[in-house]
Amino acid sequence: MYETMSEEINELAAALALAQGAFRSVPTTQTAIVKGTTKQGKAYEYSYKYASLSDVFEACRPGLSKNGLSVSQLVTQPEKGRHQIESLLMHSSGQWLRSVFILKATDDPQDMGGQITYYRRYALSALVGLATEEDQDAQHSRAAGQERQQAPQQASQPSRPGNGQQARRQPPPGQQDREAWLAECKAVFLRLSKEQQAQLLGKFSAGSLEAVTAANQERFKNALVDLAAAASG
């Protein structure tokens, strides 16, 4: 297991706090389009905007440099057939923070390049505390919402018992939303490599997709969609 920080980070933390106050807003000039199919076979498509790697650097570099901070991002190969991005946030005192992302195995140089750019942007944003994407809550729930709207109207009304029939109980709204979220996320999640799945789940301290808490649903979906978009090139 790699170390994530130096023995002490007090000077780095103080410098980063000052740098963050000087960061510029990050323009979301890039558009990603995500297509997929839910577990029920319903096709969905939506888009979202995000900031490019160069835009993220332009937003944070002046504030970092002014406060003795710098960033280095390396592509390393800890073992044959496995590559990873190591990102270091360093302070002039010698203190540092590290982030490591494992790349999906591929023989396609274009795919590898897309992954490298994605992970560099993601790691840089996380290390310095920048938000680089627009709020996607409404867009992400659109597919699930449309699917629910297409259900027969009478399905939302419990039938009255009669002639020996039992009244049908509908799942509560919260459960319906959770099931729709699981179906939508699973369709995308299963397309990731095992390493990417484990890495994403680890970020949310979950052992499985079902173990992701309700409070983290939207944040998990945002990260999942962004990862899948990068993996697809």
> Tens digits of per-residue pLDDT, 75-132?
998 888 789 999 999 999 999 999 999 998 888 888 889 899 989 998 999 899 887 7
User: How deeply is 69 buried, as exposed, middle or buried, from its count of CB atoms within 10 A (0-12, 13-18, 19+)?
Assistant: buried
Does the structure show a pLDDT above 70 at 38? yes
Token digits of residue 227: 């990862």
Does the structure show a pLDDT above 80 at 133? no
Q: Is residue 153 part of a domain?
A: no
Distance, C-alpha 126 to centroid of its chain: 11
Q: How many domains does the chain have?
A: 1
Q: Is residue 120 part of a domain?
A: yes
Q: Is residue 16 part of a domain?
A: yes
Q: Is residue 60 part of a domain?
A: yes
Determine contact, residues 23/59, Cβ cutoff 8 Å: yes
What are the phi and psi torsion angles at 71 (to 5°)? -125, 135
- The pLDDT assigned to 144 comes to 45
Q: Is residue 96 part of a domain?
A: yes
Does the structure show a pLDDT above 60 at 147? no
Does the structure show a pLDDT above 80 at 200? yes
Domain that holds residue 45: 10-135+175-231
Q: Is residue 43 part of a domain?
A: yes
Name the residue among 104, 74, 107 with its Cα closest to residue 88: 74
Q: Is residue 83 part of a domain?
A: yes
Name the residue among 28, 134, 130, 133 with its Cα closest to residue 89: 130
Q: Is residue 166 part of a domain?
A: no
- How far apart (Å, rounded) are the C-alpha atoms in residues 231 and 233? 5
- The pLDDT assigned to 16 comes to 94
Provide the H-helix boundaries in 79-160.
109-128, 137-140, 142-149
> For 67-124, where are the E strands, in sequence order?
69-79, 82-91, 96-102
Which one has a higher pLDDT value, 74 or 152? 74
